[in-house]
Structure 1
Amino acid sequence: MTSYQKLSPSKDQSLAQAHIIQSDAEALDIAHALAEQFKGNAVQRDAQRILPFQEIEVYSQSGLWAITVPKQYGGAEVSSLTVAKIIALMSGVDGSIGQIPQNHFYALEVLRNTGTEQQKQKLYAEVLKGARFGNALAEFKTKNATQKQTAITPTEHGFVVNGEKFYCTGSLFAHRIPTLVKDYENREFLAFIARESEGLELIDDWSGFGQRTTGSGTVKFNNVQVAAEDIIPFDSAFSQATLVGPFAQIMHAAIETGIARAAFEETLHRVRQARPWIDSGVDQATADPLTLFELGRIVADVRASEVLLKQAARSIDAAKPQPTAANIAKASLDVAKVRAHSTETALKASSKLIELAGSRGSQREDGLDRFWRNARVHTLHDASRWKYYFIANHLLNGVLPPRRGTL
């Protein structure tokens, strides 16, 4: 075991030197230990909407938030499969904690592909010390999700950002908030804005019925200054041959796969405590033939999602040394398969948990509904029907899928 500490709850975002993980195996060992620690108060955090400041501090200080930093900059540069496994593990314990670092890793992947050498050295060093990146990407006051109004404007001393962002997952826990902005030529950039910047306002107004403690509030920018060295190209991460899109999406798939697995494991526990249906003619729910039928269907689906997740991660890792249009498309399509499947599996497994647990499973103090609520809210990120469309369109018509973070 490593030297990370259990810290008392705090909203202090100052940096302390984090542990530096050296390998995939070490990352997984630490993740399993933390998952057990975070599991203890998961129901209470969800029920009372207690934001996990303590847990996120421990999480980042453990070194797990730096595991994608390239080896040449001092990081472990773990595989995409290891990242997916860790996110799935954490999501099974607490869907919110599982989702919070997703945009952090996403921003680091954009940095890896479009940042300058100086920017990489600076920002990777911060992350190795324990820095957390949130996000300010989405806007909801435009006609569609592709339109953005948050603007970056040059000044005598650098640049200023003005605008408003919604669904800024992890922003309340972040040291920097990577913000998607457009300049006067409609080019897109990612500005790594320090949370203490003047004119930056964080609003804890996320009211979703699931993923309740992700810190996904509103962020407003009123003439927020940002230095040129903290701005990297964003649109070129998708116009060029990069894996930013499939890497972003596999983390979403991991969240849902993790929720599905945890819901199924909880179902097994609850069925062992449940009474058999009156018409079953058996003395124990574990012998109820129709209950066994449903459990068999669920475990097959959960395992299928896990296999698809593994396959997609390996496609990303295989393409990483030399990305091309062909291997990026393969990775994107493999990720689309698990995204579509994990969406349906997470919803089914979390719903069957309540059904097979019986009326006892509806008790508020047990919090079994959190699995379904978390799955339902998270799966709204992307519509599975469009995943199936892109898969079939490529299969039948040879049309490559679009390069963006929503496939």
Structure 2
Amino acid sequence: MSDNVFATAAAKYRPIFARIAAGALDREQARELPFEQIGWLKEAGFGAARIPAEFGGDGLNWEEFTQLLIELAAADSNIPQALRAHIALTEEHLYHHHREDRSVWLQRFANGQLAGNAWTEPGVGGTGTVLDEAGGKLVLNGRKFYTTGTIFADWIDVTAKRPDGTDVSVIISTKTAGVETFDDWDGFGQRLTGSGTTVFTDAEVGPANVSAFADRFPYQTALYQHILLVSLAGIAKAVVTDVAANVRERKRVFGHGNAPLVRNDAQILQVVGEISAKAYAAEATTLRVAQTLDRVFASRLQNDDAEKAANIAIELESGQAQIVLSALVPDAAGALFNVLGASSTSTGKALDRHWRNARTVATHNPFIYKSRIVGDWEVNATEPPYVWTIGVAGADAERRTAAV
């Protein structure tokens, strides 16, 4: 990949990132979902940044794309997370394209169409959504939560089961009769990701859009985690921008401070420097994981042993990065208030959104379990899990727990 290719893509997208950043505070305060802003990215082709130029994309590798995603996250950390499922479904088609022709999907995405997600379900763990036949047609019935980005999307990447219990992946248009998406995500952070509920009621599915879940690209969980790392790294960059601007402009000083102006106070500058260093570490760590994503993508063309080793590496590295950034970035976002005083808690400034957003991102895929998984690899060479589910424990599980 030449520097010119990245420079061309960056020149196209960075002005849009600046426009997105300009309205981020107002959207946060009004709880206004970024339909318009995601529309700007669609029109510019950002959803095809990873797709080869021959299909109309930018042809960026993971390290290059990650750099731009971090810049987008610094402008508005909600948006990369809202695009998370689209990025993963794009990767699914890129991964398989050398084995079978996925041109139709690659061209759809290059034309600006986006995908959302419908994997997680409320209630009992596992998948209750069913793909069945009715009247000679395939129909989907179920209820999903955390359907991040679906409210902005043209397509939905859904996990379901056939009546015989077989796990399948289903892609369905958001315009299909029987598909409803609700903006009912009520978290205190990342409030504009569109992570609400999607319901499927006898929604018709094209047979060509059904595949075995077991055939999904193997590093999908690590990639999903990587986009959360991107959001954390972007939040840290935004914190640096805001703390520096507020210190630079601040006129009020404490009588027991160290300088006539806050901008010249050595203790304040030390804290700002520490925040900057944490942001640097977050970005550098995320870019390191991106390099490993490039290697695992390349390994699909190698032998099975090489591909397996690469998939273990990306799962572990994304987990290691998550463990560190989940503490590092909220800490940096909280330190902002140590240098700006009580006035920085003004709701008009909404500086607390950085901590709220970082802490919310850090709750995904709990890093305490990732710590155990990494430790088990280091000590026992236990291969990490690649897919897991979440849900309320069933009655049998509760009885087993009570009996222990």
Same fold by TM-score greater than 0.5: yes
1:293 matched to 2:270? The reply is yes
CA distance in 2, matches of 1:342, 1:220: 34
What is the match of residue 205 of structure 1? 184
Tell me the amino acid that sits aligned with residue 129 of structure 2. T
1:163 to 122, 142, 159: 142
Name the CA distance, whole Å, in 1 between partners of 2:258 and 2:19: 41
The Cα of 1:117 is off from its aligned counterpart by 7.0
Partner of 2:322: 339
Q: Is the 8 A contact 1:71 1:77 kept in 2?
A: yes
Quote the offset at 1:186 in angstroms: 2.7
Matching residue's letter, 2:295: A
Stretches of structure 2 that go unaligned for 5 or more consecutive residues are 301-306, 390-404
What corresponds to 1:235 in structure 2?
214
1:24-46: CA deviation from partner (whole Å, max 9, x where unpaired)? 33222222111111111111111
Residue number in structure 1 paired with 2:228: 252
2:364 and 2:46 map into 1 onto residues whose CA distance is: 24
The reply on whether 1:88 has 2:73 as its aligned counterpart is no
Percent of aligned pairs sharing the same letter: 25
Q: CA deviation at 1:155?
A: 4.0
Partner of 1:263: 239
Question: Any stretches of 5+ residues in structure 1 without a counterpart?
Answer: 1-21
Write the deviation string for residues 106-156 of structure 1: whole angstroms up to 9, x where unpaired. 1122233457977722222211111011111111222x4xx1111111345
TM-score, normalization: structure 2?
A: 0.87
Rounded Cα–Cα distance in structure 2 between residues aligned with 1:395 and 1:62: 44
Q: Which of 182, 191, 197 in structure 2 is aligned with 1:218?
A: 197
Q: Is the 8 A contact 1:114 1:234 kept in 2?
A: no
Q: Tell me if 1:154 matches 2:153.
A: no
Q: 1:276 Cα deviation (Å)?
A: 4.3
Question: What is the Cα deviation at residue 161 of structure 1?
Answer: 0.6
Alignment-mate amino acid for residue 189 of structure 1: V
- Cα distance in 2 between the residues matched to 1:250 and 1:223: 34
Please say if residues 111 and 232 of structure 1, whose CA atoms lie closer than 8 Å, have aligned partners that are also in contact.
Answer: no
Partners of 1:271 and 1:357 within 8 A in 2 = yes
- CA distance in 2: counterparts of 1:71 and 1:397, whole angstroms: 44
* Residues 90/164 of structure 1: CA separation in 2 closer, same or farther (3 Å cut): same
1:187 touches 1:235 (CA, 8 Å); kept in 2? Answer: no
Which residue does the alignment assign to 1:99? Answer: 81
Q: One-letter code of the match for 2:265?
A: D
Pick from 129, 138, 143: which aligns with 2:111? 129
Distance in 2, matches of 1:104 and 1:77, equals 16
Q: Distance in 2 between matches of 1:232 and 1:250?
A: 24
CA distance in structure 1 between the partners assigned to 2:325 and 2:388 by the alignment: 17
Q: State the secondary structure of the residue aligned to 1:224.
A: strand
Computed over aligned residues only, the root mean square deviation of the Cα atoms, in angstroms, reads 2.3
Alignment check: 8 A CA contact 2:90 2:109 kept: no
Which deviates more from structure 2 when the two are superposed, residues 36-45 or residues 384-393?
384-393
Q: Secondary structure at the match of 2:60?
A: coil
CA distance change for structure 1 residues 69 and 271 in 2, over 3 Å: closer, same or farther? Answer: same
Q: Judging changes above 3 Å, is the alpha-carbon distance between structure 1 residues 228 and 236 closer, same or farther for their aligned structure 2 residues?
A: same
Find out whether 1:362 has 2:345 as its counterpart: yes
- What is the distance in 1 between the residues matched to 2:77 and 2:329? 11
Call closer, same or farther: CA 1:354–1:30 in 2, change over 3 Å. Answer: farther
Q: CA deviation at 1:83?
A: 2.3
1-structure distance, mates of 2:30, 2:101 = 40
CA contact (8 A) 1:261 1:302 kept: yes
Deviates more, 1:194-203 or 1:317-326: 317-326
For 2:363, the equivalent position in structure 1 comes to: 380
In the alignment of these two chains, the number of paired residues is 379
Contact 1:115 1:233 in 2 (8 A): no
Q: Bigger shift: 91-100 or 72-81? A: 72-81
**Cα distance in 2 between the residues matched to 1:109 and 1:118:** 14
What are the superposed Cα offsets for residues 81-100 of structure 1, whole Å, 9 maximum, x if unpaired? 12222221111111212311
Corresponding residue for residue 312 of structure 1: 289
CA contact (8 A) 2:62 2:293 kept: yes
8 Å CA contact 1:248, 1:405 repeated in 2: no
User: In the alignment, is the contact (CA less than 8 A) between 1:114 and 1:233 conserved in 2?
Assistant: no
Pairwise CA distance, 1:256: 0.6
Shift of 1:72: 5.6
TM-score (norm 1): 0.86
